[in-house]
Amino acid sequence: MTTKTSTNSDLRSGAAKAGPGFDGRALRDAFGSFATGVTIVTTSGPAGADIGFTANSFSSVSLDPPMVLWSLARTSLSIDAFRNCAHFAVHILSADQEALSARFASKSIDRFGGLALDRGPDGIPMLQDCMARFACKLAYQYEGGDHVIFVGEILDFSHSARKPLVFHGGRYGMLLPKQTAAAEPADALSNLSSDDLLYQVSNAYFRTRHAVIDKLEHHGWSAEEYAALSIIGREDGLRIPEIVARSEKLRGQAISAAIVQKLIAHRLLREVDSTDGHARVRLTPEGRLSVLELIAIRKSSEADVQGSLDPSEVQLLKHLLSRLGNSADAVTSA
Ligand SMILES: Cc1cc2nc3c(=O)[nH]c(=O)nc-3n(C[C@H](O)[C@H](O)[C@H](O)COP(=O)(O)O)c2cc1C
């Protein structure tokens, strides 16, 4: 088979070299451009020791008979255990199992320490609570350069519908299913459609904010009181005009100074003279308790509005909203 080298300047120059003179870094980068899931492969060593390591070289091979493969570096400390094993297990990790992946790729950790295990054929360790799990009989092994390729026949498997952990370009990631493109809006008014980003952001903001305000009111707090107390909770000792200014920046609408005065009258806040002679507002012990109560209300309505989103989607949403906010800042300051 001949290998065609590319002259496309977009490709990394090292990858365009032919033959054994490849730039190792560039080749590694080129391999890393293939997005994979992440697995942990386990077996038992000769003295019954639990053995396992993180692998993204996993691939399904055959449905009938059911077979999978993965490869292990010949320099691996586990190579002899896998070469001599009769059975192994492959565990596919979900998006929230990045720490487990890191643990099974680290040499300085007791990889199985404290983990709840099931036992498979020959007593091989089977991790619990993974997205999918295959117990396999070792069927073949092939030399593959500096790796050994192991092929297993599946004896048993389980699977649950979760979001997978993804590995790409040397970094962990999450899967974001592509959305089908929305139809072109018929006119300017229908531009305010589900495809309009700013509409979606403000619509989500107002709807989630309502959910929080409803809950606050249910507990006898107004949105303005919540804003004032949470600003002072974060930055005790502000002056009243500073609290008002911060509230405008945070909410797009300033609270009135009268709200702060009301909280002072209710002994949740107190005014103290600072060294510069300007009165500053501090939380009283009762005020501190109220801030804790408000945080609890806020957390509980946050859990309500997250509804059907899973933790990885929540993490992704926070990340994207923060990036959106930063790019909006860059536009306004340009
Ligand atoms: C996401 C990820 C995927 C990996 N995939 C493989 C792989 O497929 N094969 C391999 O030999 N090493 C792979 N590694 C590296 C091993 O997990 C790591 O070198 C481990 O220390 C090997 O353990 P051992 O030497 O104790 O056997 C991967 C590491 C990570 C973080």
Inform me whether the pLDDT recorded for 305 exceeds 50.
Answer: yes
pLDDT tens-place string over residues 207-239? 888 888 899 999 999 999 999 999 999 999 999
Burial (CB < 10 A; 0-12, 13-18, 19+), residue 221, is middle
Average pLDDT over residues 39-64: 96
pLDDT bucket at 18, cuts 50 / 70 / 90: very low
**Cα separation of 268 and 251, whole Å?**
22
Residue identifier of the C-alpha nearest atom 18 of ligand 1:
105
**pLDDT confidence of residue 332:** 79
pLDDT above 90 as % of the chain: 64
State the average pLDDT over residues 246-259: 90
User: Is the model more confident about 278 or about 106?
Assistant: 106
Look at residue 4 in the predicted model and tell me its pLDDT.
Answer: 35
Q: Is 150 in the pocket of ligand 1 (CB under 6 A)?
A: no
Among 6-10, 125-129, 205-209, 318-322, name the most confident range: 125-129
Mean pLDDT of the chain: 88
Mean pLDDT along residues 319-332: 88
Nearest CA owner, ligand 1 atom 9: 72
What's the CA-to-centroid distance between 72 and ligand 1, angstroms?
Answer: 7
Ligand 1: atom nearest CA of 172 is 1
Mean pLDDT of 98-121: 96
In angstroms, what is the span from residue 38 Cα to ligand 1's centroid? 10
Cα(74) to centroid(ligand 1), Å: 11
Substitution site in 42, 56, 147 for ligand 1 pocket (most atoms within 8 Å of beta carbon): 56
Quick check: CB of 148 below 6 Å from ligand 1?
A: no
- Give the pLDDT mean for 26-32: 95
Return the percentage of the chain with pLDDT > 70, whole number: 89
For residue 70, which atom of ligand 1 is closest to its CA? 8
Does the C-beta of 36 come closer than 6 Å to ligand 1?
Answer: no
Give the domains, in start order, of the chain with CATH numbers: 28-174 (2.30.110.10), 195-307 (1.10.10.10)
Q: Is 171 in the pocket of ligand 1 (CB under 6 A)?
A: no
